[in-house]
Amino acid sequence: LVTRMRPFGTTIFAEMSALASRTGAVNLGQGFPDTDGPPEMLAAAAEALRGGQNQYPPGPGIPPLRAAVAAHQQRFWGLEYDPDGEIVVTAGATEAIAAAILGLCEPGDEVVCFEPYYDSYAASIALAGALRRPVTLRPGAAGRYAMDPDELRAAFGPRTRLVLLNSPHNPTGKVFTPAELTLVAELCREYDAYAVTDEVYEHLAFTDAAAGHMPLATLPGMRERTLRISSAGKTFSCTGWKVGWTSGPSSLVSALLRVKQFLTFVNAAPLQPAVAVALGLDDSYFTDFRAGMQARRDQLVAGLADAGFDVLPPEGTYFVTADVTPLGARDGVEFCRALPERCGVVAVPTQVFYDDSEAGRRLVRFAFCKRPDVLAEAVTRLQQLV
Ligand code: PMP
Ligand code: GLN
């Protein structure tokens, strides 16, 4: 195994999902929904499969999907992208993140990112031979995760190539505020850095908790330096399809595509027309999706608080983090490893998403993208802990 990959073991999601199936525990670890996405989308996929759309599609994605991605971004965020040259389909957001970093970073370049971060970030940065400069998000006033503007400023420097920003943010559930985004944008302009934005939870900013989702590319001077990434997995409850996309100015999209063509070449032909159908659904689909997830959030937040956790209610995503110290635990990793035996529930330790492992030691993450009866069962089991 090459040196640069040695720090990376099996992903925490694989480890925890294996633990769940071995013990029969309720799996609130890995974030995937337990119900299928919109029936129109599923029908379109079946039709494409039977209709012979089973050979290599075009490298950047089929034109109807690129057109649907463009229309969707125009409809929800007022962003204009040319489907020919400014949009590329990828194997989920994961491939887009890797290809963006590999296509934009020279060895030794620095990537500013916010910890705790999604686990593929550190690995993709390492594959490129780049260095991560983490800025730590910490629980602050009113249980909201906040960043220290001075820490962010200090993370930028002459070697900064790009900032990797995920909002709504996994695992904290933080939705970056307009003021925070404005500072990120200012620093990108000042240091002439690119931005790669992971917006897979773009439709999961909860209306009662946050000002709403704001793509960084909508801020002045940012469209021309931002690669904006999203994926069908979250919005349309099809995480197993691995259909994602990236939008940006053609120079940056070409840099990504140069790498992508040698990673996967093209992606799942019959799923692409289906995702195009989903992106074109009425506004009510997106509103109902968010409202449904918001109700599940409320259910799990209340249940965890009842079970004795110190809960940090999320402003977005389908994850909630909680401090385990009120339950007599000190370490989230030990807590999560023992939890299936103790009460038949799987959660993910937030610590593994930090470089500063002290900062996340007491935090664990639960996914609430599950049926209400499954969440209720998990809560009943967790209540046995006290
Ligand atoms: N980024 C974040 C923040 C995520 O939570 C996920 C979840 N899977 C991904 C990227 C990866 O998305 P995909 O499955 O589309 O590769
Ligand atoms: N994004 C999901 C999570 O954070 C799943 C990711 C994965 O399994 N790689 O749980």
- pLDDT tens, position by position, 256-269: 999 999 999 999 99
Residue 97 Cα: closest atom of ligand 1: 10
Q: Indicate the fold that domain 3-37+284-385 takes in CATH.
A: Aspartate Aminotransferase, domain 1 (3.90.1150)
Compute CA distances 193 → 156, 188, 254, whole Å.
9, 5, 17
> DSSP of 64-83, one letter per residue?
HHHHHHHHHHHHHH-----T
pLDDT at residue 210 is higher than 80:
no
Task: Using alpha carbons, select from 104, 195, 187 the residue that is nearest to residue 151.
Answer: 187
Around ligand 1, the residues with Cβ closer than 6 Å are 92-94, 118, 166, 170, 198, 200, 231, 233, 239, 242, 244
Q: Where are the beta strands (DSSP E) in the chain?
A: 26-27, 87-90, 110-115, 131-136, 138-139, 145-146, 160-166, 194-198, 226-231, 244-247, 310-312, 319-323, 345-346, 348-349, 363-367
Q: What is the pLDDT of residues 104-162, one digit of tens each?
A: 999 999 999 999 999 999 999 999 999 999 999 998 877 789 999 999 999 999 999 99
End-to-end CA, the chain:
44
225-235 as b/e: b if 16+ CB within 10 A? bbbbbbbbbbb
pLDDT at 209: 82
Question: How much is the pTM?
Answer: 0.97
The answer to whether the CB of 246 is under 6 A from ligand 2 is no
Residue closest via CA to ligand 2's atom 2 equals: 31
pLDDT at 343: 94
Could you tell me the pLDDT band of residue 13, with boundaries at 50, 70 and 90? confident
Q: How high is the mean pLDDT of the chain?
A: 96
Q: How many CA atoms lie within 13 A of 358 on its CB side?
A: 0
pLDDT at 186: 98
The answer to whether the CB of 31 is under 6 A from ligand 2 is yes
Cα of 383 vs centre of ligand 1, distance in Å, is 30
Could you tell me the pLDDT band of residue 273, with boundaries at 50, 70 and 90? very high
Taking residue 304's Cβ as centre, other Cβ atoms within 10 Å add up to 26
Distance, CA of 279 to CA of 374 (rounded, Å): 28
Cα of 335 vs centre of ligand 2, distance in Å, is 20
Residue 6 identity (one-letter amino acid): R
Taking residue 112's Cβ as centre, other Cβ atoms within 10 Å add up to 24
> What mean pLDDT comes out for the span 75-84?
98
> DSSP of 3-19, one letter per residue?
GGGTT--S-HHHHHHHH
- % of the chain at pLDDT higher than 70: 100
Residue 170 Cα: closest atom of ligand 1: 3
Distance, CA of 196 to CA of 162 (rounded, Å): 7
Distance from chain centroid for Cα 314: 14
- Substitution candidate for ligand 2 out of 13, 201, 352 with most atoms within 8 A of CB: 13
Residue closest via CA to ligand 2's atom 1 equals: 31
- Lowest-confidence pick of 14-23, 69-78, 318-327: 14-23
pLDDT at residue 166 is higher than 80:
yes
Q: What is the pLDDT of residues 47-78, one digit of tens each?
A: 999 999 999 999 999 999 999 999 999 999 99
Residue closest via CA to ligand 2's atom 3 equals: 31
Distance, CA of 273 to CA of 47 (rounded, Å): 10
Query: What does the domain layout of the chain look like in residue ranges?
Result: 3-37+284-385, 39-281
Residue 95 Cα: closest atom of ligand 1: 16
Residue closest via CA to ligand 2's atom 8 equals: 13
Distance, CA of 350 to CA of 303 (rounded, Å): 19
Residue 30 Cα: closest atom of ligand 2: 10
Distance from chain centroid for Cα 47: 29
pLDDT at residue 96 is higher than 80:
yes
> What mean pLDDT comes out for the span 16-34?
93
Residue closest via CA to ligand 1's atom 12 equals: 93
Token pair of 256, please? 């990504």
Phi/psi for 238 (5° steps) reads -140, 60
Determine if the peptide bond prior to 273 is cis (ω within 30°): no
pLDDT at 49: 98
**Whether 202 contacts 235, CB under 8 Å:** yes
pLDDT at 207: 86
Residues contacting 153, CB < 8 A, separation 6+: 183, 187
- Substitution candidate for ligand 1 out of 101, 125, 170 with most atoms within 8 A of CB: 170
Distance, CA of 233 to CA of 68 (rounded, Å): 16
Task: Using alpha carbons, select from 337, 341, 319, 318 the residue that is nearest to residue 329.
Answer: 337
The answer to whether the CB of 30 is under 6 A from ligand 2 is yes
pLDDT at residue 15 is higher than 90:
no
Q: What is the pLDDT of residues 327-371, one digit of tens each?
A: 999 999 999 999 999 999 999 999 989 988 888 999 999 999 999
pLDDT at 140: 81
> What mean pLDDT comes out for the span 203-225?
94
Which ligand does the CA of 118 lie closest to? 1
The answer to whether the CB of 13 is under 6 A from ligand 2 is yes
Residue closest via CA to ligand 1's atom 15 equals: 92
CATH code of the domain occupying 39-281: 3.40.640.10
Distance, CA of 349 to CA of 361 (rounded, Å): 8
